[in-house]
Amino acid sequence: MKRIDWTSLDAAGRREALARPARRTAGDVTDAVRRIMDDVQARGGAAVMEWAVKLDGHAPRRIAITPQAVAEARNALPPADTRAIRMAAENVRLFHQATKPEDTPFVETTPGVRSRLAWRPIERAGLYVPGGSAPLFSSLLMLAIPAQAAGVTERVAVTPPSKDCGVHPAMILAAAESGLDALWLLGGAQAIAALTFGCELDDGVIEPCDKLFGPGNAYVAEAKKQATALPGGPAVDMPAGPSELMVIVDRDAAPEIAAADLLSQAEHDADAQVILVSTSRATIDYILTEVEAQVSTLPREAIARASLEEARAVLVRDLDAACEIANLYGPEHLALQVDDPEALIPSIRAAGAVFVGRHAAETLGDYAAGPSHVLPTDGGARTLGGVTTASFMTSMSVQMVTDEGARALAPIAARLARLEGLEAHARAADLRAAG
């Protein structure tokens, strides 16, 4: 981890200290994704098939979530694993049903003029679930269940195949808990292209989706970015690329806990970034010593060490400066491991999820606390929130006007329309004022 003394840096140095890994925006990623997107747009399913074989090592395959498939998956896992998946699913469902937006009451702004917001689910959602080296079935729960709570008509889930073109039984159980009919083994930018343009494959048809969701590597994040930039292209949830975690500690923090949390994100991906911020140089020393002790015992040590090359350990004057850094960086995950963590919350303006105190492990949020762990990365938290039930819905205003309301409001609207030089607008209002 690179050590940084925040007080010694000028503005340019501070920007550099909080820079994301260069690979996330590398030109080769952008160009490679553009080739895939253009090819799938031009050739459809044939292009998806070829890119999948080339990059995934296997042709796309549809996994039907049948009672038999679910029973086989359940039998392949210890009962404690299946119970854990079910409990996590229940917590995610409970939270997202409880936080589903409801139609607002009417608000009367002028006598006889009433308006409200009405919420509706989107028609078709494309759900990208990371996989490959680690089957992230938890991301399937965190996407498909909120979409189900919102009432989305069709949820199309894709995930990269394993090396043997199989699917982990936990992924099948997560799909079943989420009420999915099928799961496509298809990953990378080619999966995003398939969800964007639609395609016909040997195992069926993937229809174009209205909005794309889910985290992924640099190629997936870039594909989502290019998809939403297309004329008539799908919306996307947020920039959700390689994982990020910032841990703010004081001298009373537990080094083994802080180190474990940092490594929990570093092991995700070589492009993941973790940042330690502390008011104590000695605490930084203790935590980095613990990081080294723990990383050498990890099965994914090589990935974690690659991520740690982009890690930072930042020394600050006080906790106010630590909060300033958090707001500048806008981390996907922010852990507050200080003596009075709740006192810092009002100062935090930019974070995808905040974990308050030593007991609030980011891992609990990743799997089972309830809120979705699909969160904005790359500074997106400065303007965006994570996936919620509302992410799968749209709001529309509903306006109702009586004769009395029209007579009161139409002259105002007409005057303002003429002030903008829009005579037809004004006349449409005049007709209402006439009764």
CA–CA distance, 265 with 243 (Å, rounded to integer): 6
pLDDT at residue 242 in the model: 82
Mean pLDDT of 177-185: 95
Beta carbons of 106 and 193 less than 8 angstroms apart? no
The DSSP bridge partners found for residue 128 are 158
Question: Given this model, what pLDDT does residue 163 score?
Answer: 79
| Catalytically annotated residue among 58, 168, 268, 333 | 333
pLDDT of residue 134: 66
pLDDT above 90 for 408:
yes
Q: Position 242: which residue type?
A: P
pLDDT tens digits for range 268-317: 888 899 999 999 999 999 999 999 999 999 999 999 999 999 999 999 99
Asked if 333 is an active-site residue, the reply is: yes
Residue ranges, comma separated, of all CATH 3.40.50.1980 domains in the chain are 2-23+241-385, 44-237
Burial class (CB in 10 A: 0-12, 13-18, 19+), 144: buried
Give me the residue label for tokens 């990953």. 187
Residue 206: strand, helix, or coil: strand
- Residue 50 a catalytic site member: no
Q: Which amino acid is located at 432 in the chain?
A: R
Structurally, at CATH architecture level, domain 44-237 sits in: 3-Layer(aba) Sandwich (3.40)
C-beta atoms surrounding 395 within 10 Å: 14
Confidence bin at 40 (pLDDT 50/70/90): very high
In whole angstroms, what is the distance from residue 316 CA to residue 322 CA?
6
Digit-coded pLDDT (tens) for 223-233: 999 999 999 99
State the pTM of this model.
0.92
Architecture (CATH level 2) of domain 2-23+241-385: 3-Layer(aba) Sandwich (3.40)
End-to-end CA, the chain = 73
* 3-class SS shares of the chain: helix, strand, coil, % to 5: 50, 20, 35
Compute the average pLDDT of residues 143-168: 93
Marked catalytic residue, from 168, 332, 362, 373 = 332
* 3 state SS of 233: coil
Residues in the chain: 435
**Tens of pLDDT, residues 397-406:** 999 999 999 9
- Any residues with CB less than 8 A from the CB of 22 and at least 6 apart, and which? none
Helices (H), 76-187: 79-98, 137-150, 169-177
pLDDT above 90 covers what percent of the chain? 89
SS3 of 138, please?
A: helix
